[in-house]
Amino acid sequence: MKAISVHRPGAPEVLLYEETPAPSLGYGEVLVRNHAIGVNYTDVYARNGAFTPSDLPFTPGKEAAGEVLAVGDGVDDFAPSDRVAFVETLGAYAEQTIVSARFLVHLPASIEYVTSAAALLKGLTAQYLLRQTFRVGAGQTIFVHAAAGGVNTSTSGRT
């Protein structure tokens, strides 16, 4: 299976596209063939060493959308060929990712893989901030400050 691997923290040049071992399913897990992945600042932080996972090498990426290839024991809500999206699961920069079923959502046919992979984490963040941290209601004004992200951000140096 092909994946992006990071063997040591550093600049973008440490991202290596290489053959990696095929993942194996555990209890409560789902094997997803990724059709699209999200790119987030947390991926940059993992790559450059700010939040590097304890095990090297690792495959970055915590957000993707695709189709279920197989389900492990204890998984009842998903089946092969289901369209899904996931967040908070390291390893999305790969052809396939093992995902705990609790991090998966069913993806309706009306939502494209690319849209879901690009919007799921950001959408959940907005929902959390606007509905759980502070419930915004009618007549209130909100101000979005420093809307930024890991994609299409211009900097004077390398991240």
* Per-residue model confidence (pLDDT) at position 146: 58
Q: Is 112 helix (H, G, I), strand (E, B) or coil?
A: coil
| Residue 72 tokens, joined | 């492990």
* Per-residue model confidence (pLDDT) at position 79: 98
Per-residue pLDDT of the chain (159 residues; tens, 9 = 90+): 999 999 999 999 999 999 999 889 999 999 999 999 988 888 889 999 998 777 899 999 999 999 999 999 999 999 999 999 999 889 999 999 999 999 999 999 999 999 998 888 777 777 777 888 888 889 988 876 655 554 444 444 444
Burial of 37 (0-12, 13-18, 19+ CB in 10 A): buried
Task: Report how far Cα 134 is from the mean position of its chain's Cα atoms.
Answer: 25
Burial of 92 (0-12, 13-18, 19+ CB in 10 A): buried
CA end-to-end span of the chain? 28
* Per-residue model confidence (pLDDT) at position 126: 76
* Per-residue model confidence (pLDDT) at position 157: 44
Pick the CATH number of 2-133 from 3.40.50.300, 3.40.50.150, 3.90.180.10, 3.30.43.10: 3.90.180.10
* Per-residue model confidence (pLDDT) at position 154: 40
Map tokens 């695709």 to a residue. Answer: 66
* Nearest C-alpha neighbor of 106 from the set 88, 123, 83: 83
Domain ranges of the chain: 2-133
Give the CA-trace dihedral at 118, 119, 121, 127, to 10 degrees: 170
* Per-residue model confidence (pLDDT) at position 148: 59
Q: How far apart are CA 140 and CA 70, in angstroms?
A: 46
pLDDT 10s digits, 34-75? 999 988 888 889 999 998 777 899 999 999 999 999 999 999
